[in-house]
Amino acid sequence: MIEHRRRRRGGQEAEISITPMLDIVFILLIFFIVTTSFAKEFGVDMNRPSNAPVKEQKRTEVIAVRIVADGRIFVEDRAVDVGAVRANIESGLARKPQASVVVVADRAADAGLMVQVVDQARVAGAANVSLAAPAG
Amino acid sequence: MAITRRRAADDEGEISLTPMLDVVFILLIFFIVSTSFVKEPGIDPQRPVAETAAAKARGNILIGISEADAVWMAKRRVPLEDVRRLVEAAVAENPESSVVVVADQRASTGTVMDVMDRARAAGVTTVSVSAEPQA
């Protein structure tokens, strides 16, 4: 009692105790420290043509890259190596600059190969790379 | 002047908490902003290497596909039919999230495409496939 009054007179203005706030802030801080994970995922964007009715696709030119089940790659029906995909798409784009690249990958082909082909097409400068499954 | 008066009043010296509080708040805000609640798929497949791989800051729905085409989400192996429902639930939790398919490079393309189609059917517009950036 006496202590209290003495303090009041000494400090002049009334003080709000910040201890409970500090407790809450620390608990929040610990929660966020524990739950934060800084693992960054790196990825390549994939366009998948939708099943919706095709819009404005009729006139655009297409460079088709096929990946067959055993891993062979065909750029416009020419068998090429993974390393040569980029050069082939570049020359294809030089002939038809507006073309979009469609990667038609067999369902049994390796996903790694498909990612590499899409990546190489993008490196070659194709603005629009999409991924399709072969018909049938 | 004020300090002297106060000292005399409460006898024991007090440590000012204000600078500590400032630091704690800055840390708190930093962690709140940087937290993204990524749901780890539970497997760590061998990712393909790609030159155009870019960091996916918003990619917080990770779907793992193992070498044997098993689909993993949130540390559990899930059947392919459940992917859509699980992605829908994750999107409802955080509408800004995007999907990153973490596929092993020997997984089959068909499974990757199936998972991507289901993620898209669940309403996620940006789906990407995880890759290792080239050193």
pTM of the prediction? Answer: 0.72
* Minimum CA–CA partner of B66 in chain A: A111
Domain B49-133: which CATH class?
A: alpha beta
pLDDT digits over A109-134, tens only? 888 888 889 889 888 888 888 888 77
What is the band of B20 on the pLDDT scale with cuts at 50, 70, 90? confident
In the block, tokens 């989400």 appear at B73
Residues from chain A that touch B17, judged by Cβ atoms under 8 A, are 18, 22
Residues from chain B that touch A18, judged by Cβ atoms under 8 A, are 17, 21
| B91 Cβ under 8 Å from any chain A Cβ | no
For residue B59, the model assigns a pLDDT of: 65
| B94 Cβ under 8 Å from any chain A Cβ | no
How much is the mean pLDDT over chain B? 82
CA neighbor of B89 nearest in space, from B124, B114, B117: B124
Is a pLDDT exceeding 60 seen at residue B3?
Answer: no
Residues from chain A that touch B107, judged by Cβ atoms under 8 A, are 110-112
**B107 neighbors A111 (Cβ within 8 angstroms):** yes
pLDDT digits over A34-90, tens only? 887 766 778 888 877 655 555 555 556 888 889 988 889 998 888 888 888 899 999
ipTM rounded to 2 decimals: 0.72
